[in-house]
Each structure stands twice: as C-alpha cells, then as structure tokens.
Chains A and B, each alone.
Chain A
C-alpha cells in the first residue's frame, strides 16, 4: 500500500478518508485535522495559555505533543485518581513525556489532597467508578485552570469518544446533554473555556501518532472501565464503521451541523440557574454544595 501524498510505502490506512500514509505524511494529516478543528470551531487563539488535561493515555499525550509542536503555550495537568498500579504507571508515562519535551506539568493527587480515591468513591456512592472519576476530573480541571490563570482547558476527546457519547445520549434522547455536546464550550459563570481539538481524529489515529512519534503511553485499559456502557457504544459504532467507513464522522459532524443548535437553549437555561457552591465557590445547580464537595463529604465521612 502506498502513501496517498508521496507514494512512499504506507504504514497506516485510514479507510474513512480512503487513504494510507507514510509516517511523515501521517503526521501532516493529523496536524492538519487538528488545525482544521481549531480553526473551524475557533478553539484557540495565538498567545492564549492552554491547560491540557493529561492522563498518560494516547489521546492526551498526542494532543499535548501536537499543540506544543504547533507552537501553543500548553502546560499539562495530571490528576492522580488512586487507581492502584494503573494510576502509578500513568503518571510515569506523563512525567516522562513532560520531561522529554521540557513541558510544564501540574499534578494534583486526589488521595493526598482530598483523602479519597476513585475506587472508594464508587463503593461509597454505589455508582460506577466512571461517574465519580468524571465528576472529579471536570471539577478539578476547571479549578486548576481558573486558579492558574489559563484561558482554556484542552481535553483529548477524539472522534470515537464524541460519537459514542452522542450515540448514548441519542439512544435515551437525553436532550439536556445533547445541548452541551460541542467541540467548544465557551467560558461562562465560573467555567473556563473547554475545547476538544482531536474531534476530527479517530482514536486509532491518536494511538498511531504516539507509536510513530515514539511516545510511550498507558496501553492497558483502566481496570474500572471494563464492560462500561461507553465501550459498548464504541463496539457498536465500530461494527458499523467496519462495513461503512466514515459513519462515525458523519454521525457526529452531521449532528453538529444539522441539529445540535436545537438543544442549546435547554443547556443555556441550565447555565442561567447556576449559583456558587457554599463549600468551594464553584458554579452549581444545587442549592448549597456542588457535586464534587458532596462527593468529598460523603466519601471521607
């Protein structure tokens, strides 16, 4: 198989683009897709300070690598989730990348700073671990960005992530979530701007980026994610993608183009009802404590 751009031997085929690329042209392809997403959705402006949410996985390290290469002022934030060896090893990969690039890495260790870990939070709250994990990440990334004076938080959500979340929300017509499922969430009411520059890349491409760039990342799956709904949605979408390449891209981008604005008024109305948490000051729809402060209170009680 030959590279579509230069006709050299290809190392990766991307069926939804009906293309294959050699290593240099694949890097060009990925960079162009990220640049296109940033420009199309006005994600980042020159001179802005970007905080990249890094986990040690392929997506966030690829994103950080690309943003640094593109000249953005991008620091990283790693959250220690207390998920045993998985978290410990993920931190090793993250630190190694930051050291190799000479990039600034912030670290927040949830067990050390808040007195609980994600597996314990799941047991106490009787909900799946991904629930406490996502809640904690959203809260602490917002806080770190605002405290650190960053203009924007960039996350490694890719096309597969966004298509799978959309699939789940559409299955149950969760319209309150559909109104917020955008590549950019503007800064408002105590929230920093949040952007997803990888939405035009599938996770197979972010993994390939890391392999070809020599970036070691956490290949093993999070032990808490096994069997979760999100993986089930991805499996369903990949079965469709296998027989009809481009389906995931069309599903997500046609949603953005044709119907997402129908759901934004509901999401905006929810934003209007936010008030400061009495514990930490973060915006919340609840009368007193925000969801994160409630979680901390329940788990360390």
Chain B
C-alpha cells in the first residue's frame, strides 16, 4: 500500500494486509497524535489495510497556543 506521511510530506510503500494499529507501531507513531485515512474515509485501529490501499497518516498536533 501507499502510505502518505506529513511534516515533512513523504510517501512509503508498505506491504499489506496490515492492521492500522500494526502500521502505526511499525512507523513508531503515537496513535493519539494521528488520524488514519483510507481513501477519503477515517479508519479505526482494528481495520485491516489491503495491499492496494491508499493510506494517509495525518498528524493532528498543532504547535500554536
């Protein structure tokens, strides 16, 4: 699957099938700090991502106060 990451913007190829929670562990990303979007839909941690999915791991943490 294609995985889009941000800040900085980059794309990774990751083999599926793979659970969202396992993808975040592999990327060493705290699940409290991102949304995972498959296509244009949010998915929960137990969702299984397929090899041909387009996935975005979108950070949600803003630096302003």
Contacts and interface: CB of A to CB of B under 8 A. Distances in A.
B60 to A, nearest CB: 4
A109 interface: no
Interface of B: 6-7, 9, 30-35, 37, 41-47, 58-65
Most buried by A among B9, B45, B58, B62: B62
A207 B33 contact: no
Given A11-B42, A11-B43, A13-B44, A238 B32 contact: yes
State the main secondary structure of chain B at its contact with A: loop
Contacts of A279: none
Nearest to B47: A1
B44 A207 contact: no
Given A161-B65, A230-B64, 20 more contacts: A1-B44, A11-B42, A11-B43, A13-B44, A58-B60, A58-B62, A130-B63, A134-B64, A206-B60, A211-B42, A211-B58, A220-B9, A221-B62, A221-B63, A222-B63, A222-B64, A235-B33, A238-B33, A242-B31, A242-B32
Interface string A162-191: 001100000000000000000000000000
Contacts of A134: 64-65
Contacts of B45: 1, 13
Contacts, number: 89
Contacts of B37: 211
A118 B52 CA distance: 43
A242 B31 CA distance: 7
A296 interface: no
A239 interface: yes
A11 B63 contact: no
B7 A220 contact: yes
Nearest to B43: A11
Contacts of A203: 60-62
Given A57-B62, A165-B65, A228-B63, A219 B35 contact: no
Contact of A1 (B35, B46, B58, B65): B46
Contacts of A15: 32
